[in-house]
Amino acid sequence: MTTNPSLARHPAVDEWLSFDTDSSVVVRSGKVDIGQRISAAVALVAAEELDVDPERIRVAERETGRVPDEGYTSGSRSMMESAQAVRLAAATARRHLLALASRRLAAPVDELEVANGVVRVPGTNRTTSYWQLAEGRPLAIPVDHQAAVKSPAMHRVLGRPYEAPGLTGLVTGTSRFVHDMMLPGMLHARLVRPPHGRARLDELDRDIESRLQGAHLVRDGSFLAIAHPDEWTATQLAARIAAVARWSPERGYDAGDIAELLVTNPRTSLPVLDGAAVQGLVPPPIAPPADAVATLTARFQRPYQMHAPIGPSAALAHLDGDRLMLWTHSQGIYPLRESIAEALGRDLESIRLIHAPGAGCYGHNGADDAAFDAALVACALPGRPILLKWSRADECGWEPYGSAMVVDVSAGVGPDGRVATWSHDTYSDTHGARPRAGAGGIGPARLLASRFREPALEPPRARPSIGSHSGLHRNQDPIYEFPTRRIVKNLVHDLPLRTSSLRALGAFLNVLAIESVMDELAGRAGADPIAFRLRHLSDARACRVLEVAAGRLGSKRKESGIGRGFGFAQYKNASAYAAVGIELSIDEGARVHLHRAVIAADAGEIIDRQGLTSQLEGGLLQAASLTLYEEVRYDAFGITSRDWETYPILGFDNAPEIEAVLIESPGEPFLGVGEATIGPTGGAIANAIHDAVGLRLRRVPFTPEAIRAAALA
């Protein structure tokens, strides 16, 4: 049996691809395209295995009931699951069709040649095509999990330049997003929000609806929305209603020191062994060896941080008779459909979700919540399409954040110059609260509006994730080889803000901490930081990316006042390897200026070179933003980070020159790359700051205020 969950759920070739009567190949993937170019990747994989030009491949629109259910597009698993499933399906289909061609053309299979889907017998005029052989009917065969795929030496498509369909529209501004959709009779909807997540509606003027200029007021408990044919009017009316609505209680959040809450609140603690959390007693602290030549104990901190997509969340909903249609930029149309169906008490088959492009986001932002909001308004106003958009304040104030975290690391280096003991505790809220079907109504309870409807649903208490490198313990267990290690995850309860999946989950701070400590231990042991890391690695591919990154960054002479630093990880110790080198300076105002960045990455066999490079570079830029700028601020009365002034992010003025080096690994399995540079970039910036000014910063973001405080400490 295959270990690919996508193939386990969808074992038939016809679920993954078909040969249309217009002489195209339709490829189906349940992983949505959020800018990571998975559509390009599956198209190229299919084109290669079928010997069909990429222009003949059409990737089907992601729609429930028409593409495989692959759950959420998350965890950097799209290539490892969806692309691999398409590859095996295409290889199986090719073998099957060549067997049919052999009989039709009266020639052995090994004598047949294929060019752009046309099968011929060399030296003759006997030809047929995939489409003639398929005859527009299903192939009705299972995917062969052991199907022979092409050797890298035979590739003519993979790894070569490829312009993905739709790229021109993105560059020229003609692409259409869910926000741009229009249907006849459509209403624009806006939400009326409480001041904070624990507030409930006390009072609303009973006569207000009569003064709403043809608008529709939708209320369900404390869920409040306004819909109007004109978008600007809907926006103004929502603001007017918000001004007169009365909510309680006034105070909603514990605004105490979040780092203190993380280490003192009730928690569930589990040991982590070989990357997986296990049920058992937490091991006691370990002491460094008596003859240690260097020891270190350090605490690292991260505040709540948000996805901060450039465009706020939106969705279009239409209840037409008994059928509810939803266009959404959710990353999981099937689990979202299940949760919405359960929340509304509707049959699954009466709801259809279609993925539509939205603002890019890696993780659980407001897309699912906006879809449910739109569905609620559409159900209250049957027959009228509802385009519901969140505002910037909605997105900043109501999305599920990445959890604040504390990481405690202690380590000791023995006389042989190697790390002898390593202890790593991570404290965090959950990193996984996406809506999905489950016991106790967990799916509906994880949709934001369910907290405000009548009766209100509160999400269940988070449980620690047990899987390998999941949630807060992602990359907590280092890839480095230490003889004695103690790894403990601490899922902390009763924290103030709603959290879920933000790109890389716990790996961002875990890797930043590991790489900072490795760098500092190297310095205390009098070792070169790259050589010190290599001393603890036997994986040749890991060593290679480190050596390449160090060589590229160090190829230019370092000027005075410039700091250089490195960070490295294999994401989840199972996905892509990435080493990042950063060159920066710090000005008199304590502002960090990023000059150069080098990425060396090994993601297995390269399918879409541009897509791979874009994900590595995009991850570096987002990680730089998280490391230097981003922090959700709040007080007892609500979230105060509501716009780009109160939640600054990395701008073009501080984006470094980036060189991405892709390590070729022909024939190796695909490795997920979407989150590979997040942790290494944070570690590289921390180490480069130390190299520049001698300061060890341990709480992100590394703002000018933080740098000045560290200098004065």
Q: Which amino acid is at 526?
A: G
pLDDT tens digits, residue range 163-178?
888 888 888 989 999 9
For the chain, the average pLDDT equals 95
Which residues, 6+ apart, have CB-to-CB distance to 120 below 8 Å?
Answer: 105, 112, 113, 126, 127, 128
Q: How far is CA 268 from CA 259, 265, 351, 428, 548, in A?
A: 17, 10, 38, 10, 41
Residue type at 165 in one-letter notation: P
Calculate the dihedral angle through the C-alpha atoms of 536, 538, 539, 545, rounding to the nearest 10 degrees: 50
Q: How confident is the model at residue 558 (pLDDT cuts 50, 70, 90)?
A: confident
Output the CA–CA distances (angstroms, integers) from residue 156 to 184, 185, 505, in the order listed.
46, 49, 37
Give the other-Cβ count within 10 Å of 346's Cβ: 18
Instruction: Give the C-alpha distances (Å, rounded to integers) separating 439 from 339, 436, 445, 507.
Output: 12, 10, 11, 29
With H, G, I as helix, E, B as strand and everything else as coil, classify residue 711.
helix
What is the three-class DSSP state of 423?
strand
What is the per-residue pLDDT for 207? 76
Residue 438 is predicted with a pLDDT of: 82
| In contact, 93 and 119? CB cutoff 8 Å | no
CA 633 to CA 641: how far, in whole Å? 5
- CB contact at 8 A, 332 and 72: yes
Write down the pLDDT at residue 486. Answer: 98
pLDDT tens for each residue of 295-319: 999 999 999 999 999 999 999 999 9
What per-residue confidence (pLDDT) applies to 630?
Answer: 99
Cα-Cα-Cα-Cα torsion 325, 330, 335, 338, nearest 10 degrees, comes to -30
DSSP string, 10-66: --BGGGTEEE-TTS-EEE--SS--SSS-HHHHHHHHHHHHHT--GGGEEEPP-BTTT
Predicted local confidence at residue 1, as pLDDT: 41
Closest CA to 267 of 404, 407, 403, 430: 430
Among 15, 105, 90, 81, smallest CA distance to 57 is for 90
Between CA 150 and CA 173 the distance in angstroms is 38
Is residue 617 within 8 A of residue 658, CB to CB? The reply is yes
Go through the domains of the chain in sequence order and give each one's CATH number: 5-162 (3.30.365.10), 178-248+313-389 (3.30.365.10), 265-304+402-430+465-712 (3.30.365.10)
Q: Can you give the pLDDT at residue 3?
A: 81
Q: Alpha-carbon dihedral of residues 150, 151, 153, 157, nearest 10 degrees?
A: 40
The interaxial angle of helices 678-693 and 704-712, nearest 10 deg, is 50
Residue type, 508: F
Unique residue bearing structure tokens 């932002």: 365
Sign of the dihedral through C-alpha 100, 103, 109, 111: negative
What are the phi and psi torsion angles at 138 (to 5°)? -60, 150
Assess contact for 221 and 452: CB atoms under 8 A.
yes
For the chain, the maximum distance between any two Cα atoms, rounded to a whole number of angstroms, is 85
Find how far residue 70's CA is from the centre of its chain: 15
Reply yes or no on whether the pLDDT at 675 is more than 90.
yes
**Which residue carries 């929000």 as its tokens?**
193
Instruction: Report the candidate in 523, 532, 537 with the shortest Cα–Cα distance to residue 294.
Output: 523
SS3 annotation, 63-86: ECCCCCCCCCCCCCCHHHHHHHHH
Identify the band that residue 2 occupies on the pLDDT scale cut at 50, 70 and 90.
Answer: very low
Q: What is the DSSP letter of 699?
A: B
State residue 625's pLDDT score: 99
What the block records as the tokens of 409 is 């690391």
Burial of 700 (0-12, 13-18, 19+ CB in 10 A): buried
The model's pTM: 0.96
Tell me the per-residue pLDDT of 479-521, one tens digit each, with 9 for 90 and over. 999 999 999 999 999 999 999 999 999 999 999 999 999 999 9
Distance of CA 302 to the CA centre of its chain: 18
Tell me how far apart the alpha carbons of residues 109 and 121 are, in angstroms, rounded to a whole number: 9
Whole-number Å distance between alpha carbons of 77 and 41: 13
Least confident range from 42-46, 159-163, 506-510, 637-641: namely 159-163
User: Stretch 513-542: mean pLDDT, rounded?
Assistant: 98
Q: What is the pLDDT of residues 569-585, one digit of tens each?
A: 999 999 999 999 999 99
- What's the CA gap between 62 and 67, in Å, rounded? 6
Q: What is the DSSP string of 130-144?
A: HHHHHTTS----B--
The rounded Cα 209 to chain-centroid distance in angstroms is: 41
What pLDDT sits at residue 90?
98
The arithmetic mean of pLDDT across residues 696-713, rounded, is 97
